[in-house]
Amino acid sequence: MTNHVVICPNPYRDIDFAHTLKIYRALAEHHITSAAFPLFVPFSAPEVTKLSAIMPLAISLSPADLLIAIGGDGTVLNLARRSMGNQIPIIGVNFGDKGFLAELDGTEMNSLITAAKGGFRESHRMMLDVKLIRRGEVVYEDTALNDVVLKSVHNCIAVTTRILGQVASRFAGDGLIVATPTGSTGYSLSAGGPIVEPEAQNMIVTPLAAHLLSAKAFVVSPNRELEITADRVRGRPTVITVDGNDVVDFFAGDELIVRRSAHETIIADLQLRPFYERMLDILSR
């Protein structure tokens, strides 16, 4: 049984923290202690101050045995990156759209109580470390659970990917996606990439709108390092995004390095439905 649960709501999905308070009261009825750690807003925000008058706030995530993300897949992604140094299992309650990561519906309170009592298996998910190198210096670093995207804002660019110093792909197009197995059902899938079981250990490299019939998605060993460069960038705004968050400028001569991270995300899996059943249901909506 878990000793302490931290509820992590997205206030843009959980208006007035109504769902947070409902979960807090349900946990209390089962003698499970919990606190709130709101995402996307500062603790000084008026709505958070109002929440703290009703339930305790968690100063940090580290003492928790389980994190409950209230929102959608984007909320789980944000929480995964914030907590990756702590290795705390995360369970998502979906008030978003697809719900690949936030698998529980808001009405499944009994399942949430089961998770809070430790009734789940740990699903370990690979993450990616990302470095942007400019003139020999690292100017940006981040870690992704879903994907890293190199994308031209308006025009076609020429993208080259090297593995072990050898050219693995070269094409002109809108850009490139490097996804984890968890992220294979996201942007990569919409760009024509394969579906990969989420607990696999691979990198999925998917071209964006390639102007070359032979430019296809391919799957790479997790032990490889990808070196990605782009030509024809000058005068063509190009950016990097990591899990759909920060937008970082990419200039001519820059090099993007992507490799498997030493960090993992642990998803609390209640094994309510097999992966492929959930996937087909979500993608048929």
Q: Which residues participate in catalysis according to the annotation?
A: 73
Distant-in-sequence, close-in-space partners of 159: CB < 8 Å, separation ≥ 6: 150, 169, 170, 171, 172, 173, 175, 176, 207, 228, 229, 230
**Alpha carbon of 259 to those of 196, 207, 222, 234, 255: distances in Å?**
18, 18, 7, 26, 13
**How far apart (Å, rounded) are the C-alpha atoms in residues 223 and 221?**
5
Angle between helix 18-29 and helix 109-116 axes, rounded to 10 deg: 60
Residue 188 near residue 170 (C-beta atoms within 8 A): no
Map tokens 């995004």 to a residue.
Answer: 241
Neighbours of 178 (CB within 10 A): 24
Which residues partner with 104 through β-bridges? Answer: 93
